[in-house]
Amino acid sequence: MSFFKTLTLAFALGLGALPALAEPFVKGVVEEITTDPQRLTIAHEAIPNLEMEAMTMVFRVADPAMLDGLAVGQEIEFEADRINGRLTVTALRAPS
């Protein structure tokens, strides 16, 4: 086994042991962007870790910089979690 494969396997096993650190990325479309306060309205697919069906809803964002470069209508993939009881986008990326 190559060094890289060993590293990849170790990483995968580590994530498996810590599921709370590896929420699944969910596909969505940006419906509205609000900057004051920072909010993101997303038409999203089902979010397994929040036991949420597909819907359009407003999220907080963990980091205001996440809104930089975003546009209404843009397809995204994101992670969401409940932070202090509020549904928050914790990670954001372009679709793979």
Q: Which residues bind Cu ion (CB under 5 A)?
A: 52, 55, 57
The residue number with the shortest CB distance to Cu ion is 57
Helix (H) or strand (E) segment spanning residue 96: none
| Residue closer to Cu ion (CB basis): 26 or 66 | 26
- What is the phi/psi pair of residue 29, to 5°? -125, 130
| Residue closer to Cu ion (CB basis): 18 or 29 | 29
User: Token pair for residue 6?
Assistant: 């060993």
Q: Which of 8, 25, 36, 43 is nearest to 79 (CA)?
A: 25
Strand, coil or helix: 27: strand
| Residue closer to Cu ion (CB basis): 66 or 80 | 80
Residue 61 CB, shortest distance to Cu ion, in Å, is 15
Residue 20 CB, shortest distance to Cu ion, in Å, is 20
